[in-house]
Amino acid sequence: MLSPEEFGKLFETFDREAFRLETLDYYDAAGTRKGLPAFLAGEEEPEEFKSSPWVTTVSNAVRAGKRMYRVHVVTTPLTDYLRFEFAWGYHRNAKAGEEFYILDLAERDVPGLPDHDFWLFDDRTVVRMDYDEHGAYVGAELLPQSQADKYIGYRELALRHAEPLATFWERHG
């Protein structure tokens, strides 16, 4: 397992691109526990939510000419959590330069995708993300570089069937 410091360093040291595949319908995090009830109550997005450390990470990478992007695999109809994540989190992060794509398994069958989240840095460094049954982050595992080609294939498969968040949101937001 990677320490939080080792994992965080990957976001500072990648050269060209960082890709993430997300597979869960719910991620349990401090921001979720505070933000989701506010979102569901129709409240304004809190200022501290708009300026998360992730926004700084993304904007620094994009300003340096690097690409950060992800595909989230979902099945519509969207859960309350996913509506919250897309409306507040993804839109906020997109303003910083992160690209988002959605792959809706209710609209297309895509066999061969993994059942877990991962990050792929520069087509060579793969980090498998582990979560418990409640969506709480457990840790990150650095996989052998020999597995990079398999994860590049997962990325390409997901991207081939995904659509930009803006297009998806027009229909489901």
Token duo for residue 3: 């320490």
Q: Where are the domains of the chain?
A: 4-172
- Taking the C-alpha atoms of residue 100 and residue 167, their distance in angstroms, rounded to an integer, is 11
Instruction: Say what the pLDDT of residue 49 is.
Output: 75
DSSP letter (8 states) at residue 106: T
3-32 per-position pLDDT tens digit = 999 999 999 999 999 999 999 999 998 778
Q: Read off the pLDDT of each residue in 73-99 and give the average, rounded to a whole number.
A: 94
Token duo for residue 131: 């979560």
- Taking the C-alpha atoms of residue 20 and residue 33, their distance in angstroms, rounded to an integer, is 22
Q: Is the distance from CB of 68 to CB of 132 less than 8 angstroms?
A: no
Superfamily assignment of 4-172 in CATH?
Endonuclease Chain A (3.30.870.10)
Global confidence as pTM:
0.94
Q: What are phi and psi of 73, to 5 degrees?
A: -90, 120
Q: Is the distance from CB of 150 to CB of 158 less than 8 angstroms?
A: no
31-66 per-position pLDDT tens digit = 788 889 999 999 988 777 777 889 999 999 999 999
- Taking the C-alpha atoms of residue 115 and residue 81, their distance in angstroms, rounded to an integer, is 19
How many other C-beta atoms lie within 10 A of the C-beta of residue 30?
Answer: 7
Instruction: Say what the pLDDT of residue 10 is.
Output: 97
Instruction: Say what the pLDDT of residue 24 is.
Output: 96
DSSP letter (8 states) at residue 145: G
